[in-house]
Structure 1
């Protein structure tokens, strides 16, 4: 058995290509007589006139024999001068006409593709680009409006909430022996346009998890409802975030207007344990029928509605940034680091 490692020579082929600028590349290595490679380009600008590919045939003189009497030629007229160039010669007229057909098909494809490109460029310029700019602009406006909001307006809402309900709720809860952390459940929001203007801190009813005495960028406030299935699922994210943040849960009664579980958790001696039990459906006995707890939940609900929230849980950073609805712990960490 013999092994041949020699590469077979490629079969010569006829080739017609039209380059992007309109130059026609010709090579008839299979059927051509001259077997030349040529490049033909139409005249452009002020010198442009007429150009055409055509098949020309000649008759041999009497008593003479000659091969390749058929040719593919290019006839052009530039600045009043007519020129005829023989691009390739062929032994038969059929070969010459086949070569002309290849040139015709290639030029046709080139013209059709150029028209399609021009149509797409026109569409993108007058329709596609304005639509993309509009869509991106609307998305940015919606994001800033729904997630970041107006910091100055948010400060005013927080100050109003503290004036109306926060101080009274804190006083009532302290009479029950409840301990509120120094950094309460409402963030100290700083207006970035006026760094000297620091919003007043409002004492809202909250349940603390995680680290103590953290700066605003490491503090989170979570509006949560014990009757909300999504809040039950989010509890594992709170446990995760409590490893690196100071997390204050602000109990609200958004689902069904049921204040009982949230109020009982606020009045319980073990607030964290009572909150976890409330998420599981249980009501703390030592905190049942607690008027101060109802007052705290009501204050939280008023602030929740002023902020325009319509779902739970919702997370707000101590810097005033409102995280996207349904954001998990991983996303909250990333966005908190960026802010």
Structure 2
């Protein structure tokens, strides 16, 4: 049973007794009921968010997010073009469940399908993602977050595809498409970077045409930067996707030439993850939803509408690696800012 905003407000008062709250209302964080949350307005006019997990897995996710945001020092935060939540207090209810109070990050969820290709927000999104990927890996390594090299990533993706194939819901056309991509060794020649790991329209906020905040950092790790671009290719119009990726390359010249096809691959494989989630939770509605989207993608592949997933020509990859090497000298200087 969901906790009422008043109960959450009472716990928040216990967590941060120095604040007097004048107003409280339910807050939907787009997490499908994994958390109870409320927006609090203090008499000072400041806004805060109190959150509580509704399951052990959600609790683990929340703890990981706290570890992640603590990784970002004040100096790092000053050099980010967006705001990150900050834990201001916590407490426990009578059952020992933890309630956490964060500062409120202003902004609206991003509807990626509604953005105009040449809008200022396109550049802002690309810059925000590139900034995350340019963070020093030591920042995340020292905090003990996961690291996934290309070989480990490939092994995990193959295993995931095998499990989804066992459901019998993946068409031969899609299996062949994805297996061919995963067998393309050149496609997975990339340098792992710091990534957010959970980017979507709810975790990235916009205000006045610019990215104002990035939330939900529980997936922070060192892995393939293409993962953070998958949600764009999965929901945006082709023209917007291409424009945004082009802006991303401008903001991060060190990125590899195959980041686009890998992001496309990951965006499609998200459908298999959704399918597996449906089976693991026994949710027939999710299974049917995933199957429906897989059928649509199958039709697009069969009709030739779907873009091919393949590695860039070798010459292009070599040229990109040269640009990446040249950019690395500049990045070494920039690392001093963090």
Both structures adopt the same fold (TM-score exceeding 0.5): no
Which bin holds the TM-score, normalised by the shorter protein? under 0.3
Q: Quick check: which one's helix share is greater? A: 2
TM-score (norm 1): 0.23
Task: Name which one, 1 or 2, has greater alpha-carbon Rg.
Answer: 1
